[in-house]
Amino acid sequence: MNIQLPGKAASFQASQREQAERQRARLGVEARAWYRITNSADDVEAEVMLYDEIGGWLGATADEFIADLRGITAPRMRVRVNSPGGSVFEGIAIANALRSHPAQVTVQVDGIAASIASVIAMSGDRIEMAPNSMLMIHDASGVCMGNASDMDEMAQLLDLISDNIADAYAARAGGTRNEWRTRMQAETWYLPEDAVAAGLADEALTSPKTGTPIEPAEPETEPMMRRYDPAAYGYTGPRAEEPTAETGLTEDIRSLIGEEIAAQLRAAVAPPVEAPAPAEPAPAAEPVAQEPNVEYRGEHGPELLAFADDPEPEEPTAAPADEWTAIVAHLTQDDADDWSALVSNLTTEASPAATDA
């Protein structure tokens, strides 16, 4: 189908790139890598990832992507898409580059393929929708500044772009341009099964395998249960016969430390001897009558100490410790009676007559 673009359509794409370059220069950033191409090690299937906005203010342009796409030599190519869309003309250029590549192209929608990213998805020889992924189609949109004539021209351009995109859907899924424009104007979203039913995808992939459930192991082989099973560690229960006194650890200790030290250890740990029970107190004696001039112990004690008139008993003189002590013993003896007789005349109280003289 021959499509006639408005007069300024040729310069529209160039102006978009120029504005993007000025915006990146103003922000001081480089073009963001929005794709990645990986050749397989065995050169069987290459992988292309479109995981960002297509072109746009910060994205790279289609010519860079197409230059890298030429390096793919594998017979098969898997293009994985997760993009909200972006520049219409950059997306159309990418879609046409994928269509013209000699490899068998499989497009896999991993997350979302919206707006122009859904048009890129239509370029695959086979289209697969991953579990829970979505595809969205809508009319083209843009920004315009100018007078009424400029606005009319922009409206014609957007209608023409939307018709062009509707033709891409119709070429893939069947139907007419007007049918797809109606769906685009309503901004239609498709789940994997809905995309397959509408003809926009070939297969809705199933969920990843969860694996075969592992049956619980038997108790005797399960590590956590074996921890509580003494038999798993070789324990077979108490021994039938206890070791005699002549064998075992006691015999080994005596052989190591000797009989003498072993006897001392046995004496040290021998059980203490129990103290004899205290004797019961004797009954109190009957009080006795106190005699005159007799000293008694206690208030009513029966024990007689001494008569009051008896002289004090003399302390026994200790035997001399050596010869010198025997020689001087008489010098240290206290003879109170002889000394008193010698000095009695000195201690006699003087008479009043002598005191007055």
Q: What is the pLDDT of residues 133-162, one digit of tens each?
A: 999 999 999 888 889 999 999 999 999 999
CATH classification at residue 54: 3.90.226.10
What is the residue whose two structure tokens read 């017979």? 75
In a domain, 164, yes or no: yes
User: Which of the two residues, 351 and 202, has the higher pLDDT score?
Assistant: 202
Number of structural domains in the chain: 1
Work out the percent of the chain whose per-residue pLDDT is above 90.
35
In a domain, 248, yes or no: no
Q: Which of 82-91, 118-127, 243-252 has the highest mean pLDDT?
A: 118-127
Ramachandran angles phi, psi of 11, nearest 5°: -90, -5
Q: How confident is the model at residue 351 (pLDDT cuts 50, 70, 90)?
A: very low
In a domain, 295, yes or no: no
Query: Considering only CA atoms, which of 33, 37, 23, 42 is closest in space to residue 69?
Result: 37
Q: 200-221 burial string, b = 16+ CB within 10 Å, else e?
A: bbbebeeeeeeeeeeeeeeeee
Whole-angstrom distance, CA of residue 123 vs CA of residue 95: 5
CB-count exposure of residue 136 (10 Å: 0-12, 13-18, 19+): middle
In a domain, 345, yes or no: no
Q: CA gyration radius for the chain?
A: 62
Containing structural domain, residue 164 = 14-204
In a domain, 249, yes or no: no
pLDDT at 170: 97
Q: How confident is the model at residue 5 (pLDDT cuts 50, 70, 90)?
A: very low
User: Which of the two residues, 299 and 337, has the higher pLDDT score?
Assistant: 337
pLDDT at 175: 95
In a domain, 116, yes or no: yes
What is the residue whose two structure tokens read 């005797």? 220
In a domain, 144, yes or no: yes
Give whole-number Cα distances, 42 to 3, 101, 125, in Å: 43, 19, 22
Lowest-confidence region among 40-44, 70-74, 287-291, 295-299: 295-299
Q: Extract the tokens encoding 83.
A: 């993009």
In a domain, 218, yes or no: no
Work out the percent of the chain whose per-residue pLDDT is above 70.
51
